[in-house]
């Protein structure tokens, strides 16, 4: 049975998901906000950030909100723009809204499913997250992600509808843990990039990833997440990929900062806003998150990388 799916957001990740699902036989509509972008995609059938990948001829592309009516809608929208898009493009009650973004909304402190619950209360809220690069998904390379939905029955249906031969989804009923893992690992990836860019070495990166993972668990458990979620694809797995690959936007952003270079402009670096949100939450709720707090301070230009490094190394000695 053909499954109808809408994908909001024609960036690299949204386009990659649309390509993979359409290629697998789903009836997919890809929505882009710009009519000019739609025209270019229809003419060339190519996405600039997915070189060498051709959009399937069956994949529909539109900027018309009225064309969106599938029972499943993937929201491949940057986190800080998600609330605006939920309000601009409301979904019918009962529609499954699957967030494909990672971060914490700066104005509310909510994650993706929290925003969906607030702005689309009649819809099913879920999040799709984990270690993945858009180009790998688009090229049909094996990729595993977490599909988290508090409603176990709805989550099972979404898992079946969104899995393909090469895109393997693992189901979870802990959206809080899944989305916090996906958000916090971006901050740790920026920090890891700073370490490498500043020439502090691979041993320092290993130590930072280990202690950064502790911070991810600390905040997530405080917010009601389950520890096994953070140990899975959406936490540990995503951190490993994002904090070690030169293809990671957050890592390369941090590496440029660490080397004293200007980061490239235009790419979405979700960890920047997430670091600010996490530092605020940690301060308000008394949660010890030194690495995330230092990343925020460096990004706010209140500390240099050298000062942040010295402050972390000067912390009291303790048991692991």
Catalytic residues: 185
Q: Say how far apart CA 234 and CA 231 lie, in whole Å.
A: 8
* Residue 14 labelled as part of a binding site: yes
Tracing tokens 């440029």 back to the chain, one arrives at 256
In this structure, what token pair is assigned to residue 36?
A: 């000019």
* Residue 318 labelled as part of a binding site: no
* Residue 251 labelled as part of a binding site: no
* Residue 9 labelled as part of a binding site: yes
Chain-centroid distance, C-alpha 121: 22
* Residue 150 labelled as part of a binding site: no
Is 161:3 a contact under the CB 8 Å cutoff?
Answer: yes
* Residue 270 labelled as part of a binding site: yes
Q: Say how far apart CA 259 and CA 195 lie, in whole Å.
A: 9
Q: Of 135, 134, 115, which Cα lies nearest the Cα of 125?
A: 115
Q: Say how far apart CA 97 and CA 192 lie, in whole Å.
A: 32
**How far is the CA of 301 from the CAs of 12, 123, 168, 257, in angstroms?**
30, 40, 41, 11
* Residue 57 labelled as part of a binding site: no
Looking at the DSSP bridge assignments, the partners of residue 96 are 72, 124
Helix (H) or strand (E) holding 62: strand 60-62
* Residue 249 labelled as part of a binding site: yes
* Residue 264 labelled as part of a binding site: no
Beta-strand ranges (E) seen in 141-188 are: 143-149, 167-172
* Residue 130 labelled as part of a binding site: yes
* Residue 185 labelled as part of a binding site: yes
* Residue 248 labelled as part of a binding site: yes
- Which segments are annotated as binding site? 9-14, 33, 102, 130, 132, 134, 185, 238, 248-250, 270
- Which segments are annotated as binding site for NAD(+)? 9-14, 134, 249
- Which segments are annotated as binding site for sn-glycerol 3-phosphate? 102, 130, 132, 185, 238, 248-250
- Which segments are annotated as binding site for substrate? 102, 249-250
């Amino acid at each position: 049975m053909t499954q109808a799916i809408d994908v909001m957001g024609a960036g690299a990740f949204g386009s990659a998901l649309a390509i993979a699902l359409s290629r697998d036989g789903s009836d997919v509509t890809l929505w882009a906000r710009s009519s000019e972008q739609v025209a270019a995609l229809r003419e060339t059938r190519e996405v600039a950030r997915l070189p060498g990948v051709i959009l399937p001829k069956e994949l529909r592309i539109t900027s018309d909100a009225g064309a969106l009516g599938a029972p499943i809608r993937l929201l491949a929208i940057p986190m800080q723009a998600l609330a605006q898009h939920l309000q601009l493009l409301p979904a019918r009650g009962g529609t499954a809204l699957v967030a494909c973004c990672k971060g914490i909304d700066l104005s509310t402190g909510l994650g993706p499913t929290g925003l969906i619950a607030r702005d689309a209360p009649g819809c099913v809220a879920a999040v799709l997250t984990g270690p993945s690069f858009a180009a790998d998904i688009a090229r049909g390379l094996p990729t595993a992600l977490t599909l988290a939905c508090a409603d176990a029955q709805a989550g099972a249906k979404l898992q079946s509808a969104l899995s393909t031969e090469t895109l393997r989804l693992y189901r979870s009923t802990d959206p809080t843990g899944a989305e916090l893992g996906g958000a916090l690992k971006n901050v740790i990836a920026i920090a890891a990039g700073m370490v490498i860019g500043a020439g502090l070495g691979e041993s320092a990166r290993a130590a930072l990833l280990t202690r950064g993972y502790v911070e991810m668990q600390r905040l997530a458990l405080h917010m009601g997440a389950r520890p096994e979620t953070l140990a899975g694809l959406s936490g540990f797995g995503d951190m490993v990929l994002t904090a070690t690959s030169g293809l990671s936007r957050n890592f390369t952003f941090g590496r440029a900062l660490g080397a004293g270079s200007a980061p490239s402009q235009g790419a979405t670096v979700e960890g920047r806003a997430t670091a600010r949100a996490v530092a605020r939450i940690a301060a308000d709720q008394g949660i010890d998150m030194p690495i995330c707090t230092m990343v925020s301070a460096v990004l706010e230009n209140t500390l240099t990388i050298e000062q942040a490094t010295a402050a972390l190394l000067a912390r009291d000695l303790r048991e692991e």
